[in-house]
Amino acid sequence: MTDSLNKIPVEVALYESSEKIYPRETKGRFQRWRMLCVYMLLGLYYALPWVQWGDRQAILFDLPARKFHIFFLTFWPQDFIFLTLLLIMAGLLLFFATALAGRVWCGYACPQTVWTEAFIWMERWVEGTRAQQMKLTAAPWSFTKVRKRVTKQFLWLTFSLFTGLTFVGYFQPISQLFVDFFSWELTGWGLFWVLFYGFATYGNAGFMREQVCKYMCPYARFQSAMFDADTLIVAYDADRGEPRARGSRRKDESSENKGDCIECGICVQVCPTGIDIRDGLQYECIACAACIDGCDEVMDKVGLPRGLIKYSTDALDKGSEKTLLQTLIRPRVIIYSILLSVIAIGFVTALSMRGNFLVDVLRDRNAFYRYSEQGEIQNTYQIRIMNKSQTTQLYMLDMRGLEGATAVWTKSSEPGVSREVGAGEIGEFSITVSLPETADYKRSQTIELLFSETVGDNVDTIVEPARFWGPRDVSR
């Protein structure tokens, strides 16, 4: 590019390097809500994998065994529909929350926000307030600066590693994982994922912070499509605040031309994404409400009413007659809540109707049939029983559809014997169906194998069809 007047080449950088943001600490009602969310969510995240349910981890996504344990429920690959429904519900819940209260998810519950808060606490604890941090950054390297920086990095790295370990602990038994890790015996994929998630935590919450929300998060980009004039947003009351006045202009009692904004800049200093909410709604705003708390504190000090920055809606800001409650209850919100309720009811109903066990039947492919020593025609089947319940169960076998035939577990002599499968386990067995050669039968016909378990007074039975083969030339 050239300077148009002097024709001198001018260098223009296409990449603007970001400046580090030092958010100022706030105190106020929304800050307390945010802290509560951070404590709760971090507490849940770190504590849940340590909770036991019977003799196993309460929440364990056991990928090698292809089983997801969530307290009293065990999901198998066959239960994929439940995972689909859960994901649909999570998406609808996000739409619902956005339609109702804008980016409330971003400000209070998004992992990026929650972990960034934790990293900011550690930073403040080691390096002090916003002003002290900025002073430290500007200061030349000294023993104190090195000590503080090393301490901060040590805390961040330890916390990140702990986060990575905990994350992997959702996928393999966490107590053994910790033992292996601290005895230097964790190797291979386990170690890789611990380091990977630890590094991701450090990179996102310690290093990139608001850059993730600004440039990487897709939700920040498309959430505006879910906004309408009645969506709750964090907004500056320009009618009340403008024209801004500070210093002598504010002290001048005769001056009528002064709004309530004293231009102290606190709302910008507390903002974790470094924006000025007075410029209007911006996609960088994560609706954390830190600027509301900051400004309310200022208003208290100067004796003006709170709420110069507040939760509001575009419509309310433009003088709509509606009350806040009326802006919340509107068709979009009602449709989302109905959809959410219908899917939630469907999910619970399907879950309660889900059988306690599943059976797969596979014919023995080695031979269509064979003769026993007693001259009976026999077919063999491979059976897999998945016990989805949380207790060991006994399974009985029976059959119907072929007069005179009997079905027994292979290697057991008589009918009426049961087979045991442990809680959440898969039992693999084989069964033999025998038919006296003198009985009436066709070369190939469908039979039904019945598997049943007794829970309390209930007997649950699964009927699986199978084919029974006999010799070709003896149809009678």
Interface residues toward ligand SF4, by CB under 6 A: 234, 236, 241, 261-267, 270-273, 275, 277-278, 285-291, 294-295, 298, 308-309
332 three-state secondary structure: helix
Name 445's bridge partners.
468
Residue 17 structure tokens = 């390097």
Continuous segment of H or E residues that includes residue 400: strand 393-400
What backbone torsions phi and psi does residue 178 show, to the nearest 5 degrees? -65, -40
Whole-Å CA distances, 373 to 119, 410, 440, 471: 75, 15, 20, 16
Least distance CB 292 / ligand SF4 (angstroms): 7
Nearer CB in complex with ligand SF4: 114/287 = 287
Q: Report the nearest approach of ligand SF4 to the CB of residue 293 (Å).
A: 9
Angle between helices 331-353 and 80-101 (to 10 degrees): 160
Quick one: tokens of 440? 């009436």
d(CA 1, CA 432): 85
Distance CA 120, CA 126 (A): 10
CB closer to ligand SF4 out of 258 and 363: 258
Q: Name 64's Cβ contacts closer than 8 Å, sequence gap at least 6.
A: none
CB of 323 to ligand SF4, least distance (A): 23
Taking the complex as a whole, the smallest distance from the CB of residue 242 to ligand SF4 amounts, in Å, to 10
* Residues 116, 272: Cα–Cα separation, whole Å: 9
> Residue 65 is encoded by which pair of tokens?
């065994």
- Compute the least distance from the CB of residue 48 to ligand SF4, in Å: 29
CA distance 211 to 274: 11
- Angle, helices 111-127 vs 143-168, to 10°: value is 150
In whole angstroms, give the CA distance from residue 125 to residue 147: 13
Q: Which is nearer to ligand SF4, 291 or 386 (CB)?
A: 291
Task: For ligand SF4, give the closer residue by CB, 107 or 470.
Answer: 107
In the complex, the smallest distance separating the C-beta of residue 25 from ligand SF4, rounded to whole angstroms, is 12
Query: In the complex with ligand SF4, which residue's Cβ is closer, 62 or 242?
Result: 242
Cα separation, 462 vs 396, in Å, equals 10
Smaller CB separation from ligand SF4, 312 or 406: 312
Q: Judged by CB, which is closer to ligand SF4: 105, or 357?
A: 105
| C-alpha triplet 68, 205, 48: angle, nearest 5° | 30
| Residue 217 contacts residue 103 (beta carbons within 8 Å) | no
What radius of gyration do the chain's Cα atoms show?
A: 33
**Other Cβ atoms within 10 Å of 317 Cβ, number:** 18
Give min distance, CB of 33 to ligand SF4, in A.
13
Nearer to ligand SF4 by Cβ, of 261 and 397: the residue is: 261
Q: What is the DSSP letter of 79?
A: G
3-state secondary structure 384-436: EEEECCCCCEEEEEEEECCCCCEEEECCCCCCCCCEEECCCCEEEEEEEEEEC
Nearer to ligand SF4, 97 or 165 (CB): 97
> Minimum distance from CB of 276 to ligand SF4 (Å)?
8
Q: How far is the CB of 131 from ligand SF4 (least distance, A)?
A: 17
In the complex, the smallest distance separating the C-beta of residue 213 from ligand SF4, rounded to whole angstroms, is: 8
Structure token digits, residue 67: 């089983």
User: Looking at beta carbons only, is 177 or 267 nearer to ligand SF4?
Assistant: 267
- The Cα 242–Cα 174 span in angstroms is 56
Min CB(307)–ligand SF4 separation in Å? 10
- 3 state SS of 68: strand
Q: In the complex with ligand SF4, which residue's Cβ is closer, 49 or 241?
A: 241
Which of 264/335 has CB closer to ligand SF4? Answer: 264
Two structure tokens written together for 416? 């009426």
Quote the least distance from Cβ 134 to ligand SF4, whole Å: 18
Which of 35, 40, 120, 32 shows the shortest CA–CA distance to 296?
Answer: 32
What residues are paired with 309 via a beta bridge?
236
